[in-house]
């Protein structure tokens, strides 16, 4: 069964064809990231316009790369939420139109949940990006930590620019949300701290690069304590970095954050990056470790853009008693493949297809 997956929730326009939920036939991605970089974050208007420009060529590319004509496509899956309204509309309206024209079943997919689906691809752990090649394909015990196929019950940590979630999946469509962020997502915290330090957008890769030459113990930042031990809160950590940076240059909290970068030395930026990353990563792994102990899952998956972070992978490998499974590095960030695989799970679960004349976007869709 070949499913065409379409993703347009944020700044990536992507389409992929996945066979039987496990083999990736194509993954075409166009990103408007460079257009947002100068603003230090995604500008929704620009993202939506870029999707309009890219969506048709990206879908055509995905079909060509997969060597598929429309007759070879059995269903279409599209992100219906969560995400930016204008961006989601482009993907959903394109998918609806194609489902009607080509007479294909249509599945509306939850983007956050779909990040976990990316771990189900064959060769999910193949290491092929430069960031990932700095890491290990095997954990310290020599187990092939990234290469096995996830099994249910599955514990997932989903960490991206928009979401921080821990969920226990009995099957793909039967899960319990154990906790989520009360304020900023962890990727958002990386992006905001990078902005404070004058490091380029997106903040995740630039903080982790800067942190390589910094001291993770230089500053002691707080870990948020919350009523639900599986919930997250990262806005206090971001503010602590801001206050420490102000104090480092001898200014008080009135000093404007946009002027900080020019006053901080490269060494100070590296130490702030490393100390921030250290606490952010520890916070994530503390909760994951606790959940592994409490729920004894068969597999653990870390997915979403922040799953590329090498410090997170190292600490998770050291502290989690099961091998941790990651999506392929290029499929940690947003992509159509994860949407296609989630569509395949919908087919397996015998979920009814959507009405292509009425499928709506759900920007605030939660898990
Ligand atoms: O999953 P994704 O592409 O989009 C959302 O669904 O949000 O995640 C993007 C996020 C950004 O916040 C980016 O800074 C973060 O993932 N990210 C990282 C790394 N690479 C990307 N965060 C930490 N370390 C990284 N290496
Ligand atoms: Zn995402």
Q: How far is the CA of 160 from the centre of ligand 2 (A)?
A: 6
Indicate which ligand has the atom closest to the C-alpha of 159.
1
| 76/108 Cα distance (integer angstroms) | 9
Query: Is 160 close to ligand 1, i.e. is its CB under 6 Å away?
Result: yes
304 lines ligand 1 (CB under 6 A): yes
- Ligand 1 atom closest to the Cα of residue 112 is 6
186 CA from centroid of ligand 1 (Å): 9
203 lines ligand 1 (CB under 6 A): yes
Distances (CA, A) of 17 to 277, 286, 314, 325, 337: 35, 36, 32, 22, 7
Residue bearing the bigger pLDDT, 162 or 13:
13
Q: Environment class of residue 321 by beta-carbon count within 10 Å: exposed (0-12), middle (13-18) or buried (19+)?
A: exposed
**Mean pLDDT taken over the chain:** 92
Measured from the CA of 185, which atom of ligand 1 is nearest?
12
Lowest mean pLDDT among 38-52, 206-220, 313-327, 333-347: 38-52
Q: Which two tokens stand for residue 104?
A: 């294909």
Euclidean distance between CA atoms 211 and 215, whole angstroms: 7
Across residues 310-332, what is the average pLDDT? 95
Please say whether the beta carbons of 175 and 165 come within 8 A.
Answer: no
CA 209 – ligand 2 centroid, Å = 21
| Residue 141: per-residue pLDDT | 36
Element (H, E) at 295: helix 266-295
Can you give the pLDDT at residue 130? 31
Q: 126 or 6: whose pLDDT is higher?
A: 6
pLDDT at 212 over 60: yes
User: What pLDDT score was predicted for residue 123?
Assistant: 65
* Pairing label, strands 299-303, 324-325: parallel
Q: Whose CA is nearest to atom 26 of ligand 1?
A: 309
Q: In the predicted model, is pLDDT for residue 5 greater than 80?
A: yes
Predicted confidence (pLDDT) at residue 142 exceeds the cutoff of 90:
no
Cα of 22 from ligand 2 centre, angstroms: 19
| Residue 162 in contact with ligand 1 by CB distance below 6 A | yes
Q: Which of 130-139, 154-163, 178-187, 334-343 has the lowest mean pLDDT?
A: 130-139
d(CA 214, CA 198) in angstroms, rounded, equals 16
What span, in angstroms and rounded, lies between the C-alpha atoms of 276 and 193?
A: 8
Structure tokens at 267: 């060494």
Read off the tokens for 45. 């208007």
Structure tokens at 316: 């998770």
Backbone angles phi, psi at 354, to 5 degrees: -75, 160
Assign 147 a pLDDT band (cuts: 50, 70, 90). low
| Exposure b/e, 44-77, CB count within 10 A at least 16 = b | bebbbbbbbebbeebbebbbebbebeeeebebbb
Ligand 1 proximity of 161 Cβ (cutoff 6 Å): yes
Pick the more confident residue, 317 or 125.
Answer: 317
**pLDDT computed for residue 41 by the predictor:** 82
Instruction: Please state the atom number of ligand 1 nearest to the C-alpha of residue 83.
Output: 6
Task: Give the dihedral sign, CA 222/227/232/233.
Answer: negative
Region 97-124 average pLDDT: 94
For ligand 1, atom 19, the nearest C-alpha belongs to 204
For ligand 1, atom 23: residue with the closest CA: 204
Of 333, 338, 342, best ligand 1 pocket probe by most atoms within 8 Å of the beta carbon: 333
Give the nearest ligand 1 atom to 194 CA: 14
99 close to 106: Cβ distance less than 8 angstroms = yes
Q: Note the pLDDT tens digit of each residue in 280-306.
A: 999 999 999 999 999 999 999 999 999
In the chain, DSSP assigns E strands to 2-7, 12-19, 23-31, 75-81, 106-110, 154-159, 164-171, 174-180, 299-303, 324-325
Q: Are 338 and 327 in contact (CB under 8 A)?
A: yes
Sign, Cα dihedral of 162, 63, 342, 363: positive
Q: Is the pLDDT of residue 139 over 60?
A: no
| N-to-C CA span, the chain | 26
CA of 275 to the centre of ligand 1 (A): 18
């Amino acid at each position: 069964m070949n499913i065409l997956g379409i993703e347009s929730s944020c700044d990536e326009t992507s389409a992929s064809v996945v066979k039987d939920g496990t083999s990736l036939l194509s993954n075409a991605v166009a990103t408007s990231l460079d257009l947002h970089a100068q603003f230090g974050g995604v500008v929704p208007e620009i993202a939506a316009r870029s999707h309009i420009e890219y969506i048709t060529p990206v879908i055509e590319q995905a079909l060509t790369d997969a060597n598929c004509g429309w007759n070879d496509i059995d269903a279409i899956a599209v992100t219906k939420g969560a995400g930016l309204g204008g961006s989601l509309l482009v993907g959903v309206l394109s998918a609806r139109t194609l489902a009607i024209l080509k007479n294909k079943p249509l599945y509306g997919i939850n983007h956050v949940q779909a990040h976990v689906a990316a771990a189900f691809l064959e060769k999910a752990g193949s290491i092929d990006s430069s960031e990932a090649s700095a890491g290990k394909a095997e954990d310290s015990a020599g187990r092939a930590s990234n290469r096995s196929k996830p099994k249910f019950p599955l514990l997932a940590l989903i960490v991206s620019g928009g979401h921080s979630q821990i969920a226990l999946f009995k099957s793909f469509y039967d899960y319990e949300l154990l906790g989520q962020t009360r304020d900023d997502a962890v990727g958002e915290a990386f992006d905001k701290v990078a902005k404070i330090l004058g490091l380029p957008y997106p903040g995740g890769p630039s903080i982790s690069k800067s942190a390589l030459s910094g001291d993770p113990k230089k500053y002691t930042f707080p870990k948020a304590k919350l009523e639900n031990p599986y919930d997250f809160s990262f806005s206090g950590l971001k503010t602590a970095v801001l206050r420490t940076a102000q104090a480092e240059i001898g200014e008080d909290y009135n000093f404007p954050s946009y002027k900080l970068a020019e006053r901080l030395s490269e060494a100070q930026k590296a130490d702030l990056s490393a100390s921030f990353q250290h606490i952010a990563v520890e916070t994530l792994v503390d909760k994951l470790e606790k959940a592994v102990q409490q729920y004894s899952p068969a597999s653990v998956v870390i997915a979403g853009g922040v799953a590329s972070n090498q410090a997170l992978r190292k600490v998770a490998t050291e502290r989690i008693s099961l091998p941790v499974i990651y999506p392929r590095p290029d499929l940690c960030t947003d992509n159509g493949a994860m949407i296609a695989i989630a569509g395949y799970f919908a087919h397996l679960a015998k979920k009814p297809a959507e009405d292509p004349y009425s499928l709506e976007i759900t920007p605030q869709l939660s898990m």
